[in-house]
Amino acid sequence: MKAKIILKHGLLAVAIAVVAFSPVLFFFLNKNSPALAPKTYIFEYGETASLGVPVRLKIPSINVDAALESVGLTPEGAVGVPKGINNAAWFDLSPRPGETGSAVIDGHYGWWKNNTPTVFNNLGKLRKGDKLYVQDETGVIVTFVVRESRKFNPGQDAAAVFASGDGKSHLNLITCDGAWNDTSKTYADRLVVFTDREVD
């Protein structure tokens, strides 16, 4: 049996539109962008009882060992981000990592006070074949393998980040990338790392 969640208001595009008001990053909906016109998207995934809530993300190749917060949508319709600069956040309207469909985890990019790096500063260094691990609240660990990294501009359609119709399990990681624009107070690019669940 599969559950369906229908989300409106251009959520797919919202998810990769990350802006930083130094040094905090957040996801926003640019209502003036034609690429973000209201749409309806359907996410399908398996029974949530099969896996617990994800609580930890480990990416050994870039030294990430982060607690996972659970976030939904803000009152403005934006995708939430972690409160802690060293934490990542699972978007809880996406599948749980390891379930069928595309789970989504986001994290901050940039430097904090005293030149402290945020959790996804080195996300762009991941390469095809690198592995990452998500642990749920019951201790179960699911392994994912990097398939590709892709950059998006703020107004670009990002349906591939959230939608998956192949019946498999994916995990997509999202953050900012590129040069900081002091005028617009944002980074130039949005980086998404696409991963697939490792098959035993």
| DSSP structure class, residue 43 | E
State the average pLDDT over residues 136-162. Answer: 88
Share of the chain above pLDDT 90, in %: 45
pTM of the model: 0.76
Task: Determine which of 58-62, 82-86, 139-143, 191-195 has the lowest per-residue pLDDT on average.
Answer: 82-86
Residue 31 has pLDDT above 70, yes or no: no
Domain coordinates of the chain in residue numbers?
3-197
Select 3-197's CATH number: 2.40.260.10, 1.25.40.20, 3.40.50.2020, 2.10.240.10.
Answer: 2.40.260.10
Q: Give the residue, 63 or 110, on which the prediction is more confident.
A: 63
Q: Give the residue, 47 or 146, on which the prediction is more confident.
A: 146
- 142 close to 103: Cβ distance less than 8 angstroms: no
Task: Determine which of 27-31, 64-68, 112-116, 144-148 has the lowest per-residue pLDDT on average.
Answer: 27-31
Could you tell me which residues come within 8 angstroms of residue 132 by beta carbon, excluding any fewer than 6 positions away?
Answer: 57, 58, 59, 60, 64, 143, 144, 146, 171, 173, 195
* pLDDT number for residue 78: 67
